[in-house]
C-alpha cells in the first residue's frame, strides 16, 4: 500500500511537470499547475480593478488593454461584474503575483502594480505570440487561455541588460524595442552606457560641446588590427526630450534606467570636447577616438574644474533619470597620464597614497559627497565596475554597488565581504555581444564563439557564496559592448535569445532552471521576434 501511494505521488508530480513544460513561459515561474479545460474569451472582457495609490493599477490595465485589443480585437471593460478579477494581497512580494485561470474566471492577486504587470506578461505568454507582440491576427477567431494556477516571484531584484551606445549609436526607436524585449522577459534594469572614448551620447545643457564635438567622430568603423578607420563622419546623441520619452517608456514597463557616464577613464570624447578643463596635457591635440581598445587620454582628476564638471553632469543626470542609481564606470582607467602630471603627483602625496588608483577613488569620493548633500529625493546610489576595488575604497564607504565583470565571481565576493552590494555581469559568459557560435555566418564580434546560448544559460549566479553574503547580491546582468557592432539588427541577432537566458537566471531559482526545458519553452518566441521585426540567433531554434 505504501509503495502504491509513493508511485501515485510520483506519477502526479511527473504529470504536473509535463503539463508545466507544455507552456511556453520564459522565465519559468516558481510554480505552475495546469488545470482542466480552458477559459474562452468573448468579444468583451469585464475586469475589476481595485484602487491602489490613485490609479496605478488601472494604468497597468489600460496599457495592457490597448495591446490586447490590438492583437485580439477583445475589448476590456472595467467594472464590478467581471471575469478577470484583480485582488490586492499585501503578503506577496512587490514583483510577485498569483494567476489562476479556470473555465469561468481569471483571478490575479498582486501586492503592487509591478506584480500585475508581470502577471499580465505571463498571461500573454500563455496565448499565441501575436498577443505578446501586440500585432493583430485576423485568422484566429477563438481566443482562449489554458486553465492553470501560477504562483510566481523573482529570485533577484536586479535583472539587467546593458547597452553600450558610446561606440555605436542606435537611436530611441531601437532602445524602445530593447525595453519591450526586456519587459517580455521580466527584466527590470536597463543600464545605458552613454559615454565612451569614441562618443558622448547625452545632451548636457551646461556643457554643449559634449554633444557638438564629443558625439561625432571621423569614422563609423572603429579601427582594430587590420581594420582601419573609414573617414566617414559618424555620430549621434540623445536630447533631453529623447531621454524624457525613453524614461517614460521604461517606467510604463517597470524598468528602471541606470545611466552610465564612464569617468575618469573611457573619457576621450569628453576630453576632446573640453580639453581646457579635462585634459591631463592641455597643450596636446585631443579628438574623439577612432580606435578600439582602452585610451590613455583620461580626465585629469587633480583639476578642480574637472571635479566641478563631473558634479554638474551628475546634477543633470539626476534631473533626467528619476531612478535609484547612477553608474560612474571606473573600469580600465590607465594612470600613465596622472603619473606624468605634477598636479596629480602632488594630490597623491596629499592624500597619503602611492597607488594612483586612489586618485580615482578620491575623485569619486568628492562626487559621492556632492550627491549626499542633495535633498533625499535627489540622492542616487553610485555603481562602479569592479576595478575600483583595486584601490583603497574606505573613503567611499560601503554604500555603493560594484558591478562585477572581470574575475566576476571573486570580485563580487570581495565587494560583498566589504559590505557593498554587487551585481553579477561576468564577461564570460554574460557579455552577449560575443560571438555565439563558430559558424561562418556569425557576424564579426569579440570572443571565440564559446558564449553559446547553453553556456550563457548554464552560468550559476552566486555559486558557493556563503549564506551571510548572499543578501549583498542584487542580481544579474547581461552586457552588450558595441565596438564591432555597427547596426541595430546585429545587436538583436547577438542578443537573442541569450537575453532570455540571463533573464531566467535573474528570475527563476537555480533548482528550477534546466537548459533543455528552456530550449523547449523558448521555441514559440521565434514568432514573437519575427512579428516584432527582430533579428535573432537561430542556433537553438527548430
Interface residue list for ligand ACM (CB under 6 A): 331-332, 385, 405
Strand 44-48, strand 84-88: pairing:
parallel
Which phi and psi (to 5°) does residue 244 adopt?
-55, -45
Which one, of 403, 530, 541, 533, lies nearest residue 128 by Cα?
530
User: 137 vs 331, which CB is nearer to ligand ACM?
Assistant: 331
DSSP E strand stretches across 328-367: none
User: 281 vs 331, which CB is nearer to ligand ACM?
Assistant: 331
Q: Which long-range contacts (CB under 8 A, 24 or more apart) does 203-210 make?
A: 203/237, 203/238, 203/239, 203/240, 203/243, 204/312, 204/313, 204/316, 205/240, 205/316, 206/312, 206/316, 207/273, 207/274, 207/309, 207/312, 207/313, 209/273, 209/274, 210/269, 210/270, 210/273, 210/274
Min dist CB 263 to ligand ACM, Å, is 13
User: 38 vs 332, which CB is nearer to ligand ACM?
Assistant: 332
Min dist CB 332 to ligand ACM, Å, is 5
User: 84 vs 333, which CB is nearer to ligand ACM?
Assistant: 333
Min dist CB 246 to ligand ACM, Å, is 22
* Residues 497, 454 contacting (CB under 8 angstroms): no
Min dist CB 357 to ligand ACM, Å, is 15
User: 112 vs 388, which CB is nearer to ligand ACM?
Assistant: 388
Min dist CB 413 to ligand ACM, Å, is 18
Element (H, E) at 244: helix 240-252
Using Cβ positions, the residue closest to ligand ACM within the complex turns out to be: 331
Element (H, E) at 529: helix 525-531
User: 216 vs 385, which CB is nearer to ligand ACM?
Assistant: 385
Per DSSP, 139 falls in state T
527: left (phi over 0), alpha (psi -120 to 50) or beta: alpha
Min dist CB 386 to ligand ACM, Å, is 8
State how far the Cα of 61 lies from the Cα of 79, in Å rounded to an integer.
12
* Residues 123, 152 contacting (CB under 8 angstroms): no
Min dist CB 260 to ligand ACM, Å, is 10
User: 117 vs 363, which CB is nearer to ligand ACM?
Assistant: 363
Min dist CB 265 to ligand ACM, Å, is 9
Amino acid at each position: 500500500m505504501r509503495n502504491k501511494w509513493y508511485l501515485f505521488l510520483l506519477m502526479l508530480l511527473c504529470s504536473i511537470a509535463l503539463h508545466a513544460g507544455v507552456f511556453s513561459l520564459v522565465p519559468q515561474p516558481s510554480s505552475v499547475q495546469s488545470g482542466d479545460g480552458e477559459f474562452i474569451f468573448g468579444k468583451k472582457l469585464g475586469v475589476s480593478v481595485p484602487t491602489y495609490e490613485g490609479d496605478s493599477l488601472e494604468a497597468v490595465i489600460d496599457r495592457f488593454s490597448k495591446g490586447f485589443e490590438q492583437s485580439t480585437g477583445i475589448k476590456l471593460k472595467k467594472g464590478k461584474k467581471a471575469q478577470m478579477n484583480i485582488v490586492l494581497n499585501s503578503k506577496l512580494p512587490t514583483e510577485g503575483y498569483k494567476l489562476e485561470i479556470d473555465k469561468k474566471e481569471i483571478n490575479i492577486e498582486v501586492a503592487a502594480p509591478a506584480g500585475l504587470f508581470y502577471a499580465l506578461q505571463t498571461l500573454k505568454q500563455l496565448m499565441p505570440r501575436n498577443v505578446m507582440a501586440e500585432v493583430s491576427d485576423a485568422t484566429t477567431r477563438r481566443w482562449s487561455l489554458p486553465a492553470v494556477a501560477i504562483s510566481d516571484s523573482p529570485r533577484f531584484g536586479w535583472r539587467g541588460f546593458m547597452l553600450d551606445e558610446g561606440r555605436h549609436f542606435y537611436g530611441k526607436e531601437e532602445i524602445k524595442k530593447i525595453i519591450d524585449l526586456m519587459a517580455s522577459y521580466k527584466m527590470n534594469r536597463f543600464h545605458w552606457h552613454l559615454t565612451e572614448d569614441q562618443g558622448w551620447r547625452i545632451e548636457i545643457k551646461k556643457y554643449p560641446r559634449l554633444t557638438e564635438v564629443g558625439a561625432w567622430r571621423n569614422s563609423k568603423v572603429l579601427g582594430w588590427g587590420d581594420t582601419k578607420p573609414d573617414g566617414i563622419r559618424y555620430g549621434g546623441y540623445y536630447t533631453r526630450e529623447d531621454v524624457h520619452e525613453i524614461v517614460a517608456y521604461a517606467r510604463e514597463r517597470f524598468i528602471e534606467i541606470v545611466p552610465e557616464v564612464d569617468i575618469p577613464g573611457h573619457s576621450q570624447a569628453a576630453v576632446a570636447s573640453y580639453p581646457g578643463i579635462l585634459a591631463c596635457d592641455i597643450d596636446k591635440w585631443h579628438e574623439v577616438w577612432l580606435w578600439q581598445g582602452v585610451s590613455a587620454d583620461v580626465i585629469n582628476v587633480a583639476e578642480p574644474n574637472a571635479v566641478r564638471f563631473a558634479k554638474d553632469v551628475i546634477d543633470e543626470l539626476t534631473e533626467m533619470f528619476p531612478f535609484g542609481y547612477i553608474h560612474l564606470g571606473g573600469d580600465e582607467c590607465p594612470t600613465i597620464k596622472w603619473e606624468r602630471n605634477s598636479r596629480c603627483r602632488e594630490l597623491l602625496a596629499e592624500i597619503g597614497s602611492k597607488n594612483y588608483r586612489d586618485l580615482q577613488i578620491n575623485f569619486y569620493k568628492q562626487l559621492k559627497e556632492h550627491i549626499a548633500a542633495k535633498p533625499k529625493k535627489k540622492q542616487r546610489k553610485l555603481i562602479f565596475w569592479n576595478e575600483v576595488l583595486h584601490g583603497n575604497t574606505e573613503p567611499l564607504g560601503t554604500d555603493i554597488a560594484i558591478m562585477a565583470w572581470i574575475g566576476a565571481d571573486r570580485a563580487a565576493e570581495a565587494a560583498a565581504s566589504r559590505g557593498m552590494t554587487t551585481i553579477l555581469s561576468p564577461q564570460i559568459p554574460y557579455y552577449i555581444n560575443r560571438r555565439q557560435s563558430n559558424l561562418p555566418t556569425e557576424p564579426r564580434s569579440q570572443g571565440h564563439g564559446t558564449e553559446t546560448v547553453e553556456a550563457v544559460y548554464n552560468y550559476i549566479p552566486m555559486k558557493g557564496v556563503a549564506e551571510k553574503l548572499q543578501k549583498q547580491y542584487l542580481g544579474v546582468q547581461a552586457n552588450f559592448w558595441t565596438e564591432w557592432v555597427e547596426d541595430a539588427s546585429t545587436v538583436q541577432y547577438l542578443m537573442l535569445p541569450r537575453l532570455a537566458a540571463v533573464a531566467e537566471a535573474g528570475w527563476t531559482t537555480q533548482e528550477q532552471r534546466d537548459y533543455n526545458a528552456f530550449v523547449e519553452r523558448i521555441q514559440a518566441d521565434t514568432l514573437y521576434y519575427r512579428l516584432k521585426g527582430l533579428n535573432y540567433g537561430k542556433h537553438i531554434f527548430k
